[in-house]
Every structure is written in C-alpha cells, then in structure tokens.
Amino acid sequence: MKTVLAFDFGASSGRAIRGSYDGKNISLDEIHRFENVPVQEDGALCHDVEMMLREIRTACRKCGKTDALAFDTWGVDYGLLNERGKLIALPRHYRGVQTQAALEKAEASLGRHTLYRETGCQVMGINTLFQLLSDCNAAQADTLLFMPDLFGYFLTGEKVCERSIASTSQMLSPVSKTWSAPVLEACGIRTSLLPPLVNSGTVLGSYKGSKVISVAGHDTQCAVAAMPCKEKENAAFLSCGTWSLIGCELDEPVLTQESSRAGLSNELGANGKINYLKNISGLWLIQEVRRDFAAQGRKYTYNDLEQMARASTPFACFIDPDDTALSRPGGLAGKICAYCAATHQPVPETDGTVLRCIYESLALKYRFALEQIADCTGKSFDVLYMLGGGTKDKFLCSLSADSLNLPVLAGPAEATALGNILLQLYTLGEFQNMQQARQFLAESQSTTPYSPHHSAQWEEAYQKFKKIIHT
C-alpha cells in the first residue's frame, strides 16, 4: 500500500487530498480544506503565504505518515526571495496586477509574434514576464519561485522550477524546454533570478519522513495527466475550474502566426507532451456573480444558480467571457448588463438571465476555441473529456456537448488532485509510465456521458456570438 498527500491549491480554496493505492484500487480522502482569500499588502492584492503554510502543516499533522507529498497550484504567480532565502513581500495576485505598460514594452522590444514564437505562450497581461517587469521588488530579488515550487522550498530548502509551471510564464521555450535567452535579454531579466529547471517526478527532499516530490506544478497539467483517455484517441480536453482550459495533446509545439493570432498556448505536460490550449475564463464568472448577488442581499446556493439558469430563456444575450471589462472582481452583474447594452443586445432583467448568459457564452467560447485549435493543428476530434470541478455542473456539461456538437465524457471531478497523486505514484515506481496510469483510470474511474443535441438554434446563436465578440 502506498499513501501520498496531494496539495491542490486553487485561486479560491486549498485542499489536501490523501491518495491510497494498493496496486488495484485507488481511494481519495479529503484531509483538510481552507479558503484561499487574497489579502492586501501595501495596496496590492496578494497571496497569504504564511496562512497557507500554516494550513499545509495542519494538513500534514492531520494526515500522519505518508510515502510522499506534492503541490499543484494555478499558474503565473510567484514569490521573490532575497539573498537570505526569505520572501521580500507576499506574492502578488494576478488579478490585482497592472501590467499593460510592461506588456507593451515587451512587445515593442521583441514584437508580439517573436514573443510568441520564443515562448509558445498566449500573450496575456497576467503572465509572469509582465508581472515581473512591473514588480518593484524584482531588482533586489535573488531568486524567483513559482507558487508550487515556493511551497516545496519552504519544506525542503530546495530552489527549483518545474517545467509545466514555468511554461505559463512567457519566459520558457517549448522547443528547447529551457529559459528563452532572447526574451530574457530583450526584457532585461537576469538569468540568475531563475532557478534550475526540473521535470515532473523530481524528488526534492523530505518533510517529516515523507518524500517531497515536484509533480506538474500547474494544476491544469495535473488535471490533464488524469484524463482517462485511450492511447491514440482523437480526444480534446476541457479542464474546467476557476479557469477553463480547452485543448489537445501534441508531440511538437505550434508556433505559427495563425496560432499566435488565435492566442493559443503550448504548455508542457507531465508526460513530455505539449498541451496545446486556450485559456478561457471559467467558473470564476459564476462564483463572482454569486458574490455580487449576495452583496445585494440575494444569497443563492450553486444549485440555485444552475436551476435559475436552466429556467431562463435561452440565447437571450451573450458576452465574451474573456473581455477585460469582465475580468476584475466587483459588480460583475452590472458589468454584464453594460456589456450587453454596449453590443446592442437585450439587457438582462433577472438574475437568471445573467446566469444563462454566462453559461451559454462559456459553451459557445469553448466551440470557438476548439475550432481555432482544429484549424491550427489540422486535427479533428471525436470526444471531449471534461475534467475538474466544473464537471459537477451538469448544465454546463450538457451545454458544452450541445455547443460543440461532440460527445462529452465528464470526470473525474477531482482530476487535478488525482493527477497529482498519480504523478507521485509514478515517481514512486507504481506505474511504468503515465499512459499505464491513464489506462488504470479508464478502467477504474467512471465518467458521465453527455450526448450532443445540436440544433439550428445553436448554430444561429454561434453566428451571433462570433459577431458580438468581434465587435
């Protein structure tokens, strides 16, 4: 029996999941959960790392002895250490950083397509490169550590950078799988700031008798590692949580101008593959509008929200889920109404209509992104695997199947934690390779099928949606 502990930290919560594997079956137990609420420091929105470390130690005490433990988190954010190995300041939260000037400076130095060709990364203001160029503490820093590597460092003292999380930074080459010298030089980033790169499956050290393993640090790559697909299947994936990441696995990166214009990313997967994907806003929109309603005295459960959306008139109005006007916290329902007015659509008059608008817009954006991926790769897809917490939302799964006109297999809901656990077990020698681990999942974990019910209404809605997002 092997027992491992997966720390899965999202933008809104953190969890510690114990995985027990006897060679035939795997069981998951949630040992500890806590809210991950950003804090203000010197006027900046930051991650409360000291609180998170307390929760990590609490989880380890509650769990007891394990063979190993590992961390996965969201991408792009980082901590800066001084020469003594101490945090200079709390890591900044990507939703609170002003990076437009830095992005424009980097584009002026390199050109947008060169920046893309060098890193294969969708050019977004939240990416580490632009955060770092905007960070007043960067000049005095000795080492940059991404969030999962930061937690590993605090437990073991080892400073490394796992490649999957590095590939979210806009600083890593997906071809050489090393730091991009042209990007660093053009932007004035010291190479000494960046720690050695390691692959998923590197043992960093130990903490209270448990091996500390660097798995795929980016939660998306952990989720994709747990995709229960068959070898050589024409499958696309949709990792659905705070963010939606839709894509497919490739052997080589796609670095064309067409891919750059489409805003597609080449991220490094845990299995050596390229995960070619599009970042799309996800369940954060639902979470944020729920907070907005609650602030106005209307408190709903997530089940309430789903049922309200189901009961509302379909295809009344649409948003681009990734419009910058909708990306920051606060007053989201009003922002959606303003967006609809500005794009000459009916303005939602009920909470249910706002929700229906979000749900359908997400499903339509998934189709838009997957068509871009198909165009850039020449691939066609027979099935979509939906992974992560979003699979609990049956309405979203159903709408996704209808919009894409593809069969959807939803699950596992705990894909990120499960991928983290499988990667630890692989490192401990329980699987020969990750395809064997996936085969084990396909045989042992159930998925929920959703058949597409595509209609002329969906096709008409998609054409309207495309016009609106290009307005």
pLDDT (tens digit per residue) in 258-271: 999 999 999 999 98
Question: What was the pLDDT predicted at 129?
Answer: 98
Q: Residue 65 corresponds to which tokens in the numbers above?
A: 């002895």
Q: What is the mean pLDDT of residues 362-370?
A: 99
Name the residue among 226, 79, 52, 54 with its Cα closest to residue 149.
79
233 pLDDT band, cuts 50/70/90, is: confident
In a domain, 287, yes or no: yes
Domain assignment of residue 18, yes or no: yes
Confidence at 231, pLDDT banded by 50, 70, 90:
confident
Q: Which two tokens stand for residue 25?
A: 């079956």
Residues 213 and 231 in one domain: no
Alpha-carbon distance 447 to 112, whole Å?
40
Q: Is the pLDDT of residue 7 over 80?
A: yes
CATH number at residue 308: 3.30.420.40
- Report how far residue 110's alpha carbon sits from residue 451's, in angstroms, rounded to the nearest whole number: 46
The confidence band for 23, taking pLDDT boundaries of 50, 70 and 90, is very high
Looking at the fold, whether 132 and 161 belong to one and the same domain comes out as: yes
End-to-end distance of the chain based on CA atoms, in angstroms? 57
36 and 84 inside one domain: yes
* Percentage, residues of the chain above pLDDT 70: 100
Q: Is residue 333 part of a domain?
A: yes
Q: Are residues 208 and 280 in the same domain?
A: no
Domain span at residue 316 reads 227-411+431-471
- Residue 403 belongs to some domain of the structure: yes
Q: Do 254 and 396 belong together in one domain? A: yes
Q: What is the pLDDT of residue 328?
A: 87
Catalytic: 149?
no
β-sheet bridge partners, residue 44: 41
**Within a 10 A sphere around the Cβ of 357, how many other Cβ atoms?**
27
Closest CA to 241 of 376, 364, 75, 83: 75
pLDDT the model gives residue 216: 98
- In angstroms, the Cα distances linking 412 to 32, 190, 224, 390 are 20, 41, 11, 10
CA distance linking residue 239 with residue 28, whole number of Å: 19
Residue with tokens 């749900």: 359
Give a yes or no: residue 420 inside a domain.
no
> What type of residue sits at position 333?
A
* pLDDT computed for residue 230 by the predictor: 81
DSSP 372-439: HHHHHH----SEEEEESGGGG-HHHHHHHHHHHTS-EEE--TTHHHHHHHHHHHHHTTSSSSHHHHHH
273 and 402 fall within a common domain: yes
Residues 156 and 241 in one domain: no
Which residues, listed in sequence order, are joined to residue 116 by a DSSP beta bridge? none
* Any domain includes 424: no
Q: Is residue 422 part of a domain?
A: no
Secondary structure element (H or E) that encloses residue 286, with its range: helix 284-295
Residue 218 identity (one-letter amino acid): H
Q: How many CB atoms lie under 10 A from the CB of residue 342?
A: 12
Residue 56's pLDDT is 99
Whether residues 103 and 154 fall in one domain: yes
Of 184, 217, 250, the position where a domain reaches its end is 217
* Same domain for 335 and 211: no
Nearest-angstrom CA–CA distance, 223 and 247: 12
Candidates 149, 219, 292, 351; catalytic one = 219
Q: Which of 183, 217, 251 is the last residue of a domain?
A: 217
**Average pLDDT score, the chain:** 96
In terms of domains, do 141 and 38 share one? yes
Domain ends where: 217, 235, 261?
A: 217
Residue 282 to residues 125, 191, 346, 359, 441, Cα–Cα distance (Å) = 17, 34, 23, 10, 25
Query: What is this structure's pTM?
Result: 0.94
pLDDT for res 445: 87
In this structure, are 256 and 389 located in the same domain?
A: yes
Say what the pLDDT of residue 308 is.
Answer: 98
Token pair recorded at residue 1: 């029996």
Whether the bond into 412 is cis, omega within 30 of 0: yes
- Sorted by sequence, the CB contacts under 8 Å of residue 385 that are 6+ apart come out as 227, 228, 229, 235, 236, 237, 238, 408, 409, 447
Q: Are strands 13-21 and 2-9 parallel, antiparallel or unpaired?
A: antiparallel
Does 213 lie in the same domain as 231?
Answer: no
Give mean pLDDT, residues 72-98. 96
Q: Count how many domains the chain has.
A: 2
